[in-house]
Structure 1
Amino acid sequence: RVRDCVVTVPAYFNDSQRQATKDAGKIAGLDVMRIINEPTAAALAFGMEAKDGQTIAVYDLGGGTFDISILEISGGVFEVKATNGDTSLGGEDLDHVVLNYLVGEFKKSQ
């Protein structure tokens, strides 16, 4: 049985949304040990081979959001320095813009 867990949330989640996520985990019988922004989780999951002392930007074009996190890497630890998101950009919105652009370029070449 799973008890301890780490939960990822969109970068734009505020403190009350993060707390509600932890509370929901507790109701489900989970010990939510940490809440991590999705862009941060993506950087960790891909095992970034970043050098010590680097500052990196991680973009997340989720299912309808555009998120960015700025992380500092020191001693193998990823520290989130800043994060923000826009629920009106990214994901499907970006897909439509790119698709429309490519269709337009294709039509020009015909």
Structure 2
Amino acid sequence: MPTPIWPHPCPGCRHTVSAYFSNSQRQATKDAGAIAGLNVIRIINEPTAAAIAYGLNYKGEKKNVVVFDIGGGTCDDSILTISKGTFKVRATAGDTHLGREDFDNRIVAHFAKEFKRK
């Protein structure tokens, strides 16, 4: 076993990945964490992680949430139900052909135009 890169103990960490990652890619991510000296106990889809962050302080009634993660290379989506601090993933998907820098630039240009207009 190689010497861990991270010299401090890590009793358990969570790692986010794109929604389109296959099971073998998820396992490779866990293996890479182990090589780095991390104990990866959970792999979470990026849009699911965003929804969890969004709903951490949510104390209201049960609701369904759709999260779009449009990044520099993909578009990942998750549909979750948030209820009493519990997050249930209903569906998740990703598309490697949406996103990219040109998409980000168009979104920024659109909202800058809207901001100036208003």
Cα separation, 2, equivalents of 1:50 and 1:40: 18
* Count of aligned residue pairs for this structure pair: 103
Cα separation, 1, equivalents of 2:59 and 2:91: 18
Which position in structure 2 is the counterpart of 1:87?
96
Cα separation, 1, equivalents of 2:60 and 2:78: 17
Q: Identity across aligned pairs (percent)?
A: 55
Cα separation, 2, equivalents of 1:90 and 1:2: 36
Cα separation, 1, equivalents of 2:72 and 2:43: 19
The answer to whether the 8 Å contact 2:71/2:104 transfers is no
**Secondary structure in structure 1 of the residue aligned to 2:27:** helix
Which position in structure 1 is the counterpart of 2:80?
71
Q: For residue 26 of structure 1, what is the amino acid of its counterpart?
A: A
TM-score (norm 1): 0.78
- Alignment partner for residue 38 of structure 1, among 46, 56, 64? 46
The answer to whether the 8 Å contact 1:52/1:76 transfers is no
Report the aligned-residue RMSD.
2.3
- Alignment partner for residue 55 of structure 1, among 59, 64, 85? 64
- State the 1:45 CA deviation: 2.2
- Alignment partner for residue 10 of structure 1, among 18, 26, 40? 18
Cα separation, 1, equivalents of 2:76 and 2:30: 21
**Secondary structure in structure 1 of the residue aligned to 2:104:** helix
Deviations 1:15-49, CA, capped at 9 Å, x for gaps: 11111111111121111011111111112223363
- Unaligned ranges ≥5, structure 2: 1-7, 114-118
Cα separation, 2, equivalents of 1:87 and 1:23: 23
TM-score (norm 2): 0.73
- State the 1:99 CA deviation: 6.2
Q: For residue 53 of structure 1, what is the amino acid of its counterpart?
A: K
Are residues 1:19 and 2:27 paired? yes
